[in-house]
Chain A
């Protein structure tokens, strides 16, 4: 006990017994906050007085039963209830058990029995509340762990990691990868307050994230002012190129709207390529899910060879999307270190 007396509410319809309990409780050193006769007023007073414990006669004359009142008090106010049972009718006893009381006290009771029943009831309530609280905290912490893990790895990979304890590197035959880059970023940082520019970049990334989240594609990472997403991994799909183009168009439109509305000058270049990659998890600190292969390098070069506001794709991607998207052939253009590559701009839906 924390110095102050334990406060007890008595629910007993027989006045003499009620007073007797009160006297005994006070002799032990408890405070009796009130004696009530009905289940209804027991619920009301429990809410109003917030006692530490309720002593409840199971058999109350008229109105709701002691069992129903106890159930309501426990549920609404989380106050422990100890039953006073004058009868040993088994059916009532079983019913009382369902309400998970914190103790039973058969009548007639003695002071010692009353004392230990109350102490045990309070102890049970305290420790069970503590256990409940720890369980809730644990659930919350597990959710936190999950969401952090999801911030690092794709959902499918998190699942594999949990199931097998490790992630197996894999070759994906056909995926699409997109590099989106604000190519005038350094100019913006030099022209305006850098911290503010980063703040705006963060807002744009949030918007991009929402577009990507909605599409079901995988955000790989951002590298400074470059935003990278993948389609067709870690779960293989047939429409990865189409989905990437759809997202690329949405991003381009968003940046255009932003620029016209706020007089911004964000120049977004998007490069896309399709092909095979190896994907896996590397590192101990800041471990990450990543992709490797020439497909990735070419996608990056496609972004380099793009023009602001445009979406530049390779022939491989073009073959996968040209039924649905209107594309414009740009010719064989030089991609740094890769020789000449066929390039196409995506204009929009056919």
Chain B
């Protein structure tokens, strides 16, 4: 310690107070004040912010030393050493509860006073450091946990922590949804980079909230494309319904955004339901990902969709038809001679609480 510690004395007997101050000065502490009244000690502690308070248990006024000490330690975090003339067990017990930094029995000798003060200052300092370090550690742990959640789904993190390894896993029935913005590249070239990324970020941030709301898994964004899944890593029954609900909300967000923005985002969505394999791959920039024909087909559904529309396969349609109004698009050719039955989701069935029809007029 470069500066001599500053000490406040609380003592109702002025002879003792003066004697104490003299001894303290001799030990090269700085006595910055003295008080005989409990209320006054609290006030002085707050104003003077001493490094330590020597506190007589018996003080003038309604507030005794123990009460004053408790208030001071809680409010100002200043260490207190009790001075006590008598060792009445009940009072000592009460004093102990306030976790003081030491007791000195009167009459005190210089050496005891010195070591008690040094100890109290040390204890206070090191406990403060320990508390700070513990707090920093807690914050850092939360930070790394959040980052891990930015890379892997929570159940997968749990598996990783328990097993030390993540194995690829087959899922029989999931739904994958892709969205992207038609004409994005042209729009992108007409916008300053900062604005482009800010716009996308705003949209994706809102999408992230929707995904969270429906308990779905964001897989990743790929440029202007947003990819999500339902039914894994924790298997669920209603993955297709949740995905379609999320897609409707996402289109709604885009519509709102378009109405107050100079840009027009033409989002299209496509989904398919089926089996996938999911797992973690890579050494650097490792990520949780999904594979299988279901994924490819979902991506194709998105490409064959239209702005403001959700395009789904018959497999997804079968899972959601009770809740949503859909429109059959026919058997559409997807690759060479392959064809697939596609549907547009028009909105919630009119019997459902939410009734949303056409979301954005289809104008490709």
By a beta-carbon cutoff of 8 Å, the part of chain A in contact with chain B is 116, 120, 123-124, 127-128, 130-131, 134-135, 137-138, 141-142, 144-145, 148-152, 168-171, 185-186, 189-190, 194-195, 197-199, 201-202, 205-206, 209-210, 212-213, 219-225, 278, 280-288, 290-294, 296-297
By a beta-carbon cutoff of 8 Å, the part of chain B in contact with chain A is 115, 119, 122-123, 126-127, 129-130, 133-134, 136-137, 140-141, 143-144, 147-151, 167-170, 184-185, 188-189, 193-194, 196-198, 200-201, 204-205, 208-209, 211-212, 218-224, 277, 279-287, 289-293, 295-296
CB distance from B23 to the nearest CB of A (A): 18
Using A152-B150, A293-B189 as known contacts, say yes or no to A134 and B133 having CB atoms under 8 A apart.
yes
A151 engages B286 (CB within 8 Å): yes
**Taking CB as reference atom, which chain B residue is nearest A168?**
B194
Residue A186 contacts which of B123, B185, B296 (CB distance < 8 angstroms)? B296
Considering the chains assembled together, what is the distance between the CA atoms of A104 and B127 in angstroms? 22
Considering the chains assembled together, what is the distance between the CA atoms of A189 and B276 in angstroms? 10
Considering the chains assembled together, what is the distance between the CA atoms of A216 and B292 in angstroms? 31
Using A138-B133, A292-B188 as known contacts, say yes or no to A278 and B201 having CB atoms under 8 A apart.
no
| Majority SS at the chain B contact face | helix
A222 engages B281 (CB within 8 Å): yes
Residue A148 contacts which of B122, B144, B169 (CB distance < 8 angstroms)? B144
B277 engages A152 (CB within 8 Å): no
A283 engages B197 (CB within 8 Å): no
B150 engages A189 (CB within 8 Å): no
B292 engages A209 (CB within 8 Å): no
B151 engages A152 (CB within 8 Å): yes
A284 engages B281 (CB within 8 Å): no
B170 engages A194 (CB within 8 Å): yes
CB distance from B317 to the nearest CB of A (A): 23
Tell me which residues across on chain A come within 8 A of B219, comparing CB atoms: 286
B147 engages A148 (CB within 8 Å): yes
Using A124-B122, A195-B169, A223-B222 as known contacts, say yes or no to A205 and B283 having CB atoms under 8 A apart.
yes
Extra A-B contacts (10), CB below 8 Å, given A195-B169, A198-B277: A148-B150, A169-B193, A189-B291, A205-B281, A222-B287, A222-B289, A224-B295, A278-B197, A280-B197, A292-B188
CB distance from A97 to the nearest CB of B (A): 14
Residue A202 contacts which of B189, B208, B222, B279 (CB distance < 8 angstroms)? B279
